[in-house]
Amino acid sequence: MSPLAVGWLRTHWPLKLLSIVVAVTLWVFVVSADLSEAVYTIPLDVTGVPAGLQIASVGVDTVVVRVRGRRSILSRLRDEDFRAEVSVKDAPGGRFVSRLGPDNISAPVGVRVLRVSPSQVRTTLEPAPR
């Protein structure tokens, strides 16, 4: 480093450090202020029906999903951009309760699923006609 650059760094260094801290704080505030939450109602897909069984009934047709993301992203999204899926591949015949959570929701990049309601879904499986 040249002596001029070293001298510039050493003079008024507390003010320079303070300006960096203020700039970083302002940046964090602006970035976090851009985050928003939204609610979407999306259809529930039941997958993985075991061979020899069929779905007789599903407790709900749609789920309500609360998500967080940048306001600019959320403003362009529609319900169709999400997918809710529950698998019954390990379910025995009869009534079966599956848990629903953020892991059951496919969301666009940059969007985080916070909550899914209902948190459980009841499915009834019956033998398929032959």
pLDDT of residue 51: 86
Are 66 and 41 contacting, i.e. CB atoms less than 8 angstroms apart?
Answer: no
pLDDT of residue 39: 96
Residue-wise pLDDT for 61-111, tens only, equals 999 999 999 888 999 999 999 999 999 888 888 898 889 999 999 999 999
Q: Is the pLDDT of residue 115 over 70?
A: yes
pLDDT of residue 27: 85
pLDDT of residue 102: 95
Residue with structure tokens 């050493």?
10
Q: Is the pLDDT of residue 3 over 80?
A: no
Q: How far apart are CA 57 and CA 47, in angstroms?
A: 13
HSE value, Cβ hemisphere, 13 Å, CA-based, for 61: 0
Q: How far apart are CA 79 and CA 83, in angstroms?
A: 8
pLDDT of residue 112: 95
For residue 111, list its beta bridge partners: 69
Are 129 and 60 contacting, i.e. CB atoms less than 8 angstroms apart?
Answer: no
Q: 35-127 architecture in CATH?
A: Beta Complex (2.170)
pLDDT of residue 105: 96
pLDDT of residue 33: 65
Residue-wise pLDDT for 6-52, tens only, equals 677 778 888 888 899 999 988 887 776 678 899 999 999 999 888 88
